Amino acid sequence: MRTVFENIKGDKAIWAVVALLALFSFLPVYSASSNLEYVVGTGTTMGHLVKHAMLLILGFGIIYGVHRIPTHFFKGLSLIALPIVLVLLGFTLAQGTTNEGANASRWIQLPLVGIKFQTSNLASVVLMVYVARYLTKIKDKTITFSESILPLWLPVFLVVILILPANLSTAAIIFSMVLMLCFLGGYPIKYLLGIVGSGILCLTLFVLLAKAVPDIFPNRVDTWMSRIENFRNPADTEADYQIEKAKIAIATGGIVGKGAGKSIQKNFLPESYSDFIYAIIIEEYGLIGGFTLMFFYLLLLFRIVVVANGNQTIFGKLLVLGVGLPIVFQALINMAVAVELFPVTGQTLPLISRGGTSSWMTCLAIGIILSASVKEEVKKKSRSKIDDTNPLEVLSGQL
Amino acid sequence: MAVTDKNILTRLYVVAGFLFLFAAAVLFKLVSIQLIDGEKYQKLALKRTERMFTIEPNRGDLISDDGSLLATSVSRYTIRFDAVTVSDRNFKENIKPLSEALSKLLGKSSSHYQQLLRKAKTNKNRYALVARNLDYSEYMAVKDFPLFNKGPYKGGLIVDQKTVREHPLGKIAERSVGYERVDENGYYTRVGLEGAFGEYLRGVEGKRLKQKIANGQWKPIGLDNIVEPKDGYDVISTIDINIQDIAHHGLLAQLEKYKADHGCVIVMETKTGEVKAISNLGRTPEGKYYERLNYAIGESHEPGSTFKLMSMVAALEDKVIDTSTVFDTEKGTWRIYKNTVRDSKHGGYGKITAAKAFEVSSNTAFAKMIHNNYKDNPERFVNRLMSMGLHKELGLPVKGEGKPVIRYPGDKGWSGISLAWMSHGYEVSLTPLQTLTFYNAIANDGEMVKPRLIKEVKELNTTIQKFSKEVMNPAICSKETAVQMKALLKNVVEQPWGTGHRLYSPNFSMAGKTGTAQKNYVSKDPDKLQYISTFAGYFPADEPKYSCIVVIHEPDRNVGFYGADVSGPVFKSIAQKIYATSPLVDEVDMRDTKDKATERSYQKYYAEAQKKYNKVPNVKGMSGMDAISILENLGLEVEVRGNGSVKRQSISQGTDLKQVKKIVLELS
């Protein structure tokens, strides 16, 4: 145990923020558990807490393990992982688990442990690392658009296309995060605009196709349309019902909130423990709770910027931003949905929501960030030596 | 495109700045929801999630004088079946035993229920009706039936409970017991005792604040109700179900015999004014009778000859006559202003005293008595009647009391013949209960007691309010007058010339006055002429205990219509049943001599049974029954051969009990 603590490296502030968020996450899970128990009727309230604790402990194991990996290893790892991820995504989409009749093939069942795994989360992290690697590789070159199609945009589009039918919002977020990373990495802006344009074109085509031949992707497109329609023009529908409940939760929370577990709206808000958790947190802990949570995410953002700044390599910088900013962005999206600044999406609140495996992928990203923050210490000793002996580095160089 | 640390940083600031702005926007929106729309959503929250529920109090029981229930609230259960929630396996396994159990309990065939349940299953019916209006014990039985014992989710049992008002007496006194209904505007329809004492019976609604939780359920907020429900009080009425039963059946029999339109009976306790029975029966087009309207209290009509009592009391009080004043009945007719007063007996009664005029019910004598004595000052007569309270309603709590009519000189309809006609009960109008109240006052030597239907209001065993005798008028007349009239009322039955003599029985005494009023006499069509037959009085004649009036409207004229014939027998049967059949006291010696042999054997058994054993006892010589009892209590299996007392036991005395399981006894 002592060695474990001695081996904790990297940015201590990030460790602290992550640990605090993880601890805080027990409160909404505790609150939601009674309702889960009552409505779904499986397990016990204590069971939900224990399960959450187990997931978090494993998550911290992931952080610890990943942050010990030298940063440049990720270049090669992303190359190996990308094809695997594509296969997994394809498999997920093909199996088509239905969610209330809508095609929500987002999960695959992990064998043996019986946990559902959302492949898009893993894909997101892997893809960001891959893109960071590519941008680092071309940092000193002037490239043409056509040169970047095969190594950059093909994998990006493959990932996005495979996620899109089942989970538009995640696909859109991954796509916009890739664009953001390209922007940060100095990829020519004129090309980026072209990509955005073609991306919109693709989406339009997809929607039209789905409308014309509704059997291919049943119901999902209708869900998006109605959600967006609702955001623009609120009417008395399901999404509107959710938003109204979320607003009631926020309004009745007041400054200090109703107290732990005393939320009333959790009974009526579907996904009160994930999609609308921010509203429930404000209902129970008031503006104080809401602002504090936001403060921690912004602190995380600040530390990510600091780590990126401190890292000496271009890859390190882009890697940290590539996996770190999506965490903050997703958190903001989740909060924006709760306050009706954004249409209803299925995004969870990273590290807080009782999301199960999605929190592991957040942990993976955190681990990568921490690894990058470690690097400067390690680098002084034996950078060149590691570079030479890393076979993955060689593989990365070849591509 | 040279990427340097520096330009990454610059771009990063742009991105981070954008994220900060985003965060600021979220927080701004958050605060604005609380500040700007806060109130609206807080109200919405209350509207959507909190509701005040009313808790219905239990309505109190309406109890008769003798403690029987007249009306009580009971739960009724309707059983429905949710065919969707039941798994196919459970359904298949249980449908047959369930159908058979239902069939046994509810009477319909087993296949009927099988079909019903299967149909519900095929149609995915989640609310299929199985049985209606089950009482509590039936409901408990159904709950334990196969499949249903798995509860609402696995078994698909749906139970709807409702509270209904039951009348254990059934149709008897139904109208007097009445009901109370409230419509959505809070307006009460009140009938009978239930309506009259609704305030006591109703109780107070409780209020409970509840919060909506998932699955459309509501959970109570806080530990206490906002308003505690308060169950209604029990009301003990004066009705005695035995007397009510007698009155009901007596009236019913007579109505059927005379094919009358309707009738009523009131029995009242003389001293206290407690109404012991009140029965109202009306005829349906099919010729059946049921409690239709509260005629006894609600129907005001011309009383006819029973009013002669009031006339005579007035005349005696005003001392314009005494009982020996002689009137000439003039061959039974007397012309007055072109109108003729007729006696029912053709040819009249000759010259008779006022007393006999009352006993034979002579219309001419009474017309003369009142007309001649008051014609110069008719107000005096009417004032006298009014001083006896005959023009006022009794002021009963039961709604719908009929209005009495006593005209005053100068009123619309008053004429020169009014006095003569009022003297024998026309041009006046009284309800049966009002008439009875007056008769009761005479029976009470002039003290007029208010008729009363309520005795006590109770909460469980605690008395909330007691109602006692209420005197309306301590003396409507002098005691002498009352005593004189009582003698005359007695003579109506006892004297051979009395109109009620046919009711006379040497076994018990009663006093009263017959009345045969014409109805619809205004129309000249003789076919429409109908009668109202009345008998009002009290019994026993000398020390009145109960007053009673029987009124029967529109008896079939071909069968009979005189008060003494139509109503009198009902009166008599009530009096007879209450008094003539007083219970016999038979004394029987208690035989409590003990049989010595039995006693001894019991003592032996008792001694053995009280001992604690860990070894097999000696039961030889004991009676078989006792031995079995003792051994079985020790946990042994006992096999018995033969009859009588124990001759041999298979395991001998003193064997350790732990080693023994079964013992065989041989009896002889």
Q: What CATH code is carried by the domain that includes residue B615? A: 3.30.10.20
For residues B442 and B555, membership in a common domain is answered with yes
Least Cα separation, residue B205 to chain A (angstroms): 27
Residue B183 falls within a domain, yes or no? no
Which residue in B357, B315, B355, B313 sits closest to B332, CA to CA?
B357
- Check B8 against A314: CB less than 8 A apart: yes
Q: Which of B19, B29, B34 sits opposite A301 (nearest CB)?
A: B19
Structure tokens at B315: 């005349």
- Cis status, amide bond into B540, omega within 30 of 0: yes
Q: Measured between CB atoms, does A299 come within 8 Å of chain B?
A: no
For residues B215 and B284, membership in a common domain is answered with no
| Mean pLDDT on A370-385 | 60
Report how many domains make up chain B.
Answer: 4
pLDDT of residue B656: 79
Q: Which residues of chain B neighbour A248 with C-beta distances below 8 Å?
A: 41-42, 44-45, 48
| Mean pLDDT on A214-220 | 60
pLDDT at A99 over 50: no
| Mean pLDDT on A223-247 | 68
Q: Which residues of chain A neighbour B16 with C-beta distances below 8 Å?
A: 301, 305
Which residue in B100, B148, B95 sits closest to B119, CA to CA?
B95
Report the DSSP pairing between strands B662-667 and B637-641.
parallel
Specify the CATH number for the domain of residue B536.
Answer: 3.40.710.10
pLDDT of residue A200: 84
The amino acid that residue B309 corresponds to is L
Interface of A with B in 339-398 (CB under 8 A): 339-341
A30 vs A221, higher pLDDT: A30
Q: Which residues of chain A neighbour B12 with C-beta distances below 8 Å?
A: 184, 305, 308-309, 321
Tell me the CA end-to-end span of chain B in Å, nearest whole number: 123
Q: Which residues of chain A neighbour B40 with C-beta distances below 8 Å?
A: 251
Least Cα separation, residue B142 to chain A (angstroms): 27
Q: Which of B2, B8, B20 sits opposite A140 (nearest CB)?
A: B2
Q: Measured between CB atoms, does B29 come within 8 Å of chain A?
A: yes
DSSP-derived letter for residue B305 is G
Among B178, B212, B237, the domain-final residue is: B237
- Check B12 against A321: CB less than 8 A apart: yes
Q: Measured between CB atoms, does A325 come within 8 Å of chain B?
A: yes
Tell me if B52 sits within 8 A of B209, measured CB to CB: yes
CA distance B427 to B424: 9
Q: List the single range of A135-139, A180-184, B224-228, B252-256 with lowest mean pLDDT.
A: B224-228
Q: Which long-range contacts (CB under 8 A, 24 or more apart) does B152-155 make?
A: B152/B82, B152/B85, B153/B85, B154/B85, B154/B86, B154/B87, B154/B90, B155/B86, B155/B90
The H-assigned helical ranges of chain A are 2-6, 12-24, 26-40, 45-67, 73-95, 119-137, 145-148, 154-163, 168-184, 189-212, 220-232, 238-253, 277-310, 314-338, 357-389, 391-398
Tell me if B340 sits within 8 A of B333, measured CB to CB: yes
Q: Which residues of chain B neighbour A291 with C-beta distances below 8 Å?
A: 27
3-state secondary structure of B405: strand
For residues B20 and B114, membership in a common domain is answered with no
CA distance B34 to A339: 10
Which residue in A147, A229, A162 sits closest to A202, CA to CA?
A162
Q: Measured between CB atoms, does B471 come within 8 Å of chain A?
A: no
Interface of B with A in 39-78 (CB under 8 A): 39-42, 44-45, 48-49
Residue B193 falls within a domain, yes or no? no
Q: Which residues contact A71 (CB under 8 A, 6 or more apart)?
A: A311, A313, A315, A316, A319, A368, A371, A372, A374, A375
Tell me if B464 sits within 8 A of B471, measured CB to CB: no
Q: How many CB atoms lie within 10 A of CB A363?
A: 26
Residue B123 falls within a domain, yes or no? yes
pLDDT tens, residue by residue, B474-521: 999 999 999 999 999 999 999 888 888 888 888 788 899 998 888 877
- Check B1 against A143: CB less than 8 A apart: yes
For residues B455 and B489, membership in a common domain is answered with yes
For residues B435 and B520, membership in a common domain is answered with yes
Specify the CATH number for the domain of residue B154.
Answer: 3.90.1310
For residues B473 and B613, membership in a common domain is answered with no
Q: Measured between CB atoms, does B15 come within 8 Å of chain A?
A: yes
In total, the C-beta contacts within 8 angstroms joining chain A to chain B are 127
- Check B5 against A314: CB less than 8 A apart: yes
- Check B33 against A180: CB less than 8 A apart: no
Q: Which site among A38, A137, A264 would you substitute to test the B interface, given the most B Cβ atoms closer than 10 Å to its Cβ?
A: A264
Q: Which residues of chain B neighbour A180 with C-beta distances below 8 Å?
A: 15
pLDDT of residue B588: 59
Residue B591 falls within a domain, yes or no? no
Report the DSSP pairing between strands B289-290 and A116-118.
unpaired
Q: Measured between CB atoms, does A332 come within 8 Å of chain B?
A: yes
- Check B11 against A186: CB less than 8 A apart: yes
Residue B483 falls within a domain, yes or no? yes
Q: Which residues of chain A neighbour B31 with C-beta distances below 8 Å?
A: 287
Among B527, B555, B582, the domain-final residue is: B582
The amino acid that residue A41 corresponds to is G
R_g over Cα of chain A: 21
Which residue in B645, B641, B634 sits closest to B604, CA to CA?
B645
pTM: 0.61
Residue A384: pLDDT band by 50, 70, 90 thresholds?
very low
For residues B150 and B275, membership in a common domain is answered with no
Tell me if B230 sits within 8 A of B204, measured CB to CB: yes
3-state secondary structure of A377: helix
Provide the domain limits for residue B575.
241-582
Residue B147 falls within a domain, yes or no? yes
Tell me if B232 sits within 8 A of B58, measured CB to CB: yes
- Check B2 against A290: CB less than 8 A apart: no
- Check A301 against B42: CB less than 8 A apart: no
Q: Measured between CB atoms, does B211 come within 8 Å of chain A?
A: yes
Hey, CA dihedral for A270, A273, A278, A281, is it positive or negative? Answer: positive
For residues B229 and B147, membership in a common domain is answered with yes
Residue A399: pLDDT band by 50, 70, 90 thresholds?
low
3-state secondary structure of B654: coil
Report the DSSP pairing between strands B128-134 and B69-81.
antiparallel
Nearest chain A alpha carbon to B38: A251
The amino acid that residue A304 corresponds to is I
Residues of chain B with pLDDT under 70: 1-5, 214-215, 523-524, 580-594, 609-612
- Check A264 against B49: CB less than 8 A apart: yes
Q: List the single range of A16-30, A132-146, B66-80, B212-226 with lowest mean pLDDT.
A: B212-226
Q: Which of A39, A184, A329 sits opposite B12 (nearest CB)?
A: A184
Q: Which residues of chain A neighbour B25 with C-beta distances below 8 Å?
A: 336, 341
For residues B325 and B340, membership in a common domain is answered with yes
For residue B528, how far is the Cα from the chain centroid? 37
Predicted interface score ipTM higher than 0.90: no
Q: Which site among A244, A250, A291 would you substitute to test the B interface, given the most B Cβ atoms closer than 10 Å to its Cβ?
A: A250
Q: What are the φ/ψ torsions at residue A349 (nearest 5 degrees)? A: -95, 110
Tell me if B264 sits within 8 A of B255, measured CB to CB: no
CA distance B263 to B242: 19
Among B192, B217, B237, the domain-final residue is: B237
R_g over Cα of chain B: 40
Structure tokens at B248: 């009901």
Q: Measured between CB atoms, does B33 come within 8 Å of chain A?
A: yes
Q: Which residues of chain A neighbour B9 with C-beta distances below 8 Å?
A: 309
Residue B178 falls within a domain, yes or no? no
- Check B1 against A142: CB less than 8 A apart: yes
pLDDT at A203 over 50: yes
Structure tokens at B83: 């065919």
- Check B27 against A308: CB less than 8 A apart: no
For residues B227 and B272, membership in a common domain is answered with no
The amino acid that residue A86 corresponds to is L
Residue B404 falls within a domain, yes or no? yes
DSSP-derived letter for residue A150 is I
Tell me if A20 sits within 8 A of A293, measured CB to CB: no
For residues B324 and B469, membership in a common domain is answered with yes
Q: Which of A267, A297, A309 sits opposite B214 (nearest CB)?
A: A267
| C-alpha triplet A221, A222, A225: angle, nearest 5° | 90
Q: Which residues of chain A neighbour B27 with C-beta distances below 8 Å?
A: 290-291, 294
Q: Which residues contact B354 (CB under 8 A, 6 or more apart)?
A: B312, B315, B321, B322, B323, B324, B325, B326, B327, B365, B369
CA distance A20 to A296: 9
Least Cα separation, residue A306 to chain B (angstroms): 10
Q: Which residues contact B575 (CB under 8 A, 6 or more apart)?
A: B508, B510, B539, B546, B548
How far is CA B408 from each of CA B205, B305, B316, B377, B415, rounded to the nearest angstrom? 49, 20, 20, 11, 10
For residues B575 and B630, membership in a common domain is answered with no
